[in-house]
Amino acid sequence: MIDFRCDKCNKLLGKFRECRELEIKCPRCGELNQYKAIEHKIQSKPAKKKWAAVSF
């Protein structure tokens, strides 16, 4: 699990396993803490186009 701590006073605000976005206001100092996961996309070369006969 990942600890989520206040950026200002380092108070433990919670723990999480998977999270895309999290926002918690610290009860000790009032700092608004935000966590946003960055999705890593694997970029690959575009596939070669293959032409196919289409009938209507």
pLDDT tens for 4-49 read 999 999 999 999 888 788 899 999 999 999 988 775 444 445 555 5
* Global pTM value: 0.60
| Domains in the chain: boundaries | 2-36
- Please give the pLDDT value at position 19: 79
Q: What pLDDT does 36 receive?
A: 86
CB-based burial of residue 46 (10 Å sphere; 0-12 exposed, 13-18 middle, 19+ buried)? exposed
Whether 21 and 37 have beta carbons less than 8 Å apart is answered as yes
Residue-level pLDDT at 18: 83
Evaluate whether 6 touches 35 at the Cβ level (below 8 Å). no
Q: What is the pLDDT of residue 54?
A: 57
> Cβ–Cβ contacts within 10 Å for residue 13, how many?
20
Q: What's the pLDDT score for residue 35?
A: 86
